[in-house]
Amino acid sequence: MKKIHRLPPPDCLDNQKQAHKKNKFYEVLRDNNGKIKPRWNTACKEGGDISKIRKTLLEMSNQTCVYCGDKIYNTNMDVDHYLPSSKFPYLAYCWNNLLPSCLKFYQYWLTEKKEGRIDRI
Ligand SMILES: [Zn+2]
């Protein structure tokens, strides 16, 4: 895994800047049954700019996949959760849990998971 220097979070994922609307923030994370939505970009739905998250991740990795080192662009990029959002739903919205990776890695991970060969936690 490539070491990256983490930049400050975009405003929509900045806990301090979002503190004033914290209750609303967590409201947005839940579906109609009260279950947490495992989608990181939901956090930016309200007035946030989702593309800023991707842009900042690309910038801090110098446009390379943290897993394989391949060059990535906005079009072939995946936002990976280091700790899976299925097991740690609150970390789905944690800036420090988001990593830029290529779609190749994502496809590999999906296949390995589907075939039961991977369980990172
Ligand atoms: Zn990769």
Q: Is residue 17 part of a domain?
A: yes
Instruction: List Cβ neighbours of 97 (8 Å cut-off, separation of 6 or more).
Output: 81, 82, 83, 88, 91
Q: Is residue 37 part of a domain?
A: yes
Q: Is residue 2 part of a domain?
A: no
pLDDT tens digits along 82-94: 888 777 877 777 8
- Domain extent, residue 78, equals 11-114
pLDDT tens digits along 50-70: 788 889 999 999 999 999 999
Ligand 1 centroid to residue 77 C-alpha, Å: 9
Pick the closest to residue 103 from 69, 83, 75, 62 (CA basis): 75
Q: Is residue 121 part of a domain?
A: no
Q: Is residue 93 part of a domain?
A: yes
Q: Is residue 86 part of a domain?
A: yes
- Domains contained in the chain, number: 1
Q: Which residues surround ligand 1, an ion (CB under 5 A)?
A: 65, 67-68, 70, 102, 105
3-state SS assignment for residue 88: coil
Distance separating alpha carbons of residues 41 and 85, to the nearest angstrom:
12
Q: Is residue 3 part of a domain?
A: no
Ligand 1 centroid to residue 103 C-alpha, Å: 7
Ligand 1 centroid to residue 33 C-alpha, Å: 35
Total-model pTM = 0.72
